[in-house]
Chain A
Amino acid sequence: MSDTLAGHVKFDNVGLRYGTDPEVLSNLSFTLFPGSFYFLTGASGAGKTSLLKLLYLAQRPSRGAIRMFGQDLVTMPQGRLPELRRNLGVVFQNFRLVPHLTAFDNVALPLRLAGTEEKRVVKAVADMLDWVGLSHRAHAVPATMSGGEQQRVAIARAVIGRPKMLIADEPTGNVDPDMALKLLRLFEALNNRVGTTVVVATHDVHLLKKVPDSLIMRLHKGQLSDPTGALRYPPRPSAPGGSGAA
């Protein structure tokens, strides 16, 4: 079965608990399709971050099955996870930039870890910093950067490795509305031009209207609802590079 038909990610009756606590996520079954743009919404404590942790492979589920890019995550040996992680771009809620590295080196990190030749790294990072409007801040360390600048460095780092899927946890939570919209347009551009699947977790309902073709997943007390119904069916085929949303 092709990746498009099978979906990038398939959750089947997934549950997650931390230690012996009650489940923070229960009975999650859904499929994320390539080239789609998803919003993950829900109140604080609904389980958005926990679900994202499962998506960016920081956590294994307590039960159920997850397939990602055709691989079974539950049974996959730990040593093979890094290879899978390199298909993902993650924008963390608190950015998680490496504090002693400059903006340039933070953005370069995924390429260096993937073993890209340094000459190519320099060119790609310079282009990427230019893209997010931070060329002039290439040698700044995170502590000297504003929240918006750090956010853009985090986004540049997330997308520079040409990920199949971009996962962003509350990416607009620390920036003003203008910057939030710019960031959203940046995600859209990535989705439209490169065909990257985008998953954005947010509790800001106004954002949802800004991307009309987006699909919405709503979490409530660890349970998922599917208001658009799109999680159950593959999105309609779209123009090359389009979001492909239903």
Chain B
Amino acid sequence: MSTLPPLPPESAPDEDDALAERPRGRAAARLLPPSRLTGPIPWVIAILIALVVIAAAGGLALRNLATSASAGLSSAVSVQVIEPNPELRQARGAAAAKVLAGMEGVAAVRQVPEADLVAMLEPWLGAGAGGGDVPIPALIDVELERTAGPVQIERIQTALASVPGARVDAQGDFLRPVNNALAALQWLALGLIALVALATAAAVWLAVRNAFAGARETVEIMHLLGASQRQIAAVFLRDVLREAAFGAVLGGALGAAAVWLLGQQFTALDSGMVSGGGLMLTDWLAIAAIPLAGVLLALATARITIALALKAML
């Protein structure tokens, strides 16, 4: 004990940034007790990420459904000519079609044959739909060169003023209540994602705060021996990264499996409208990014929690 040993050469002047990731590897792993993050945090993260994946997939499917349902109808207009007298109705229908065909901005005009109308109404009105007891209006499908907005509808209405009983409707209007409902569901999914993200951040905050409190003595010693805030945070973030990554991958896989199974169920319905709600490749890529976003959220939350805890120390 009497001879002082040669001391190691002093390290180069330290820049805090250069130290940010030191100590590394096993040396860093040794600095905190093995218990580290407490309790079921990886499982909580897994459950929350699975919920977000399902909510996001639902939101994306609803968006696709709304887009698919609206596609092709946005520039379509229906013109009905309501007239009980069949000969007069036929004549006025032809006149309306002629006016429409001559209008600027109209891409196509098709007068729907009465037989087709009868066939469409038969499920509701029965075999006697075409018997003349129920007056069926003449129907003209019009395809515009642009979206059928209120201005276009007003213009067509004006052009058809000479045709008594003519009524103009944008076909997209028929789906407006459905689209509104789908939009509301999308907002609901978005709200759910935000709430679950908040819950994830809260769970990580609690876990990191507990872990910090459990390792407070060690942290204080490190602090007094010259550890920078970033060095101390880095030691905790290693554990947060590992446990959040485990939870996120597990939750992402569970959520994706649930979405896939639900997709199979809806596909089996073989419904025209529902089939428009399938997920595209870009949707799956967005869903795959959710676990990554979850890990980043956990890391950011942990970093802020540790920074606030360390701020209380000198």
A residues sitting closer than 8 Å to B (CB atoms) are: 56-60, 78-79, 81-83, 85-86, 88, 90, 96-101, 105, 108-116, 118, 120-121, 123-124, 127-128, 130-133, 157, 160-162, 182, 185-186, 189-190, 193-194
Contact = CB atoms under 8 A, between A and B. Distances in A.
Contact of A100 (B11, B22, B34): B34
Contacts of B18: 115
Interface in B193-241: 217-218, 220-229, 231
Given A56-B224, A79-B229, A98-B218, A111 B30 contact: no
Contacts of A78: 229, 311, 314
| Residue among B2, B5, B16 with most chain A CB within 10 A | B5
A182 B1 contact: yes
A90 B11 CA distance: 20
B226 A115 contact: no
Nearest to B13: A83
B314 A160 contact: no
Contacts of B9: 120
A96 B224 CA distance: 10
A190 B7 CA distance: 11
Contacts of A83: 14, 16, 226
A115 B22 contact: yes
B19 interface: yes
A115 B4 contact: no
14 contacts: A82-B227, A83-B16, A86-B225, A98-B217, A100-B218, A112-B27, A114-B14, A114-B226, A131-B1, A157-B225, A182-B1, A186-B1, A189-B2, A194-B4
A114 B10 CA distance: 9
B217 to A, nearest CB: 7
A193 B231 CA distance: 32
Contact of B4 (A114, A124, A133, A189): A189
A115 B221 contact: no
The main secondary structure of chain B at its interface with chain A is loop
A181 to B, nearest CB: 11
A219 B218 CA distance: 30
B27 A118 contact: yes
Given A98-B221, A114-B11, A132 B226 contact: no
Contact of A79 (B11, B23, B227, B228): B228
A96 B222 contact: no
Contacts of B8: 111, 116, 120-121, 123-124, 160, 162
Given A86-B14, A120-B9, A160-B7, A113 B222 contact: yes
Contacts of B33: 99-100
Contacts of A130: 5
Given A105-B30, A115-B11, A162-B10, A127 B226 contact: no
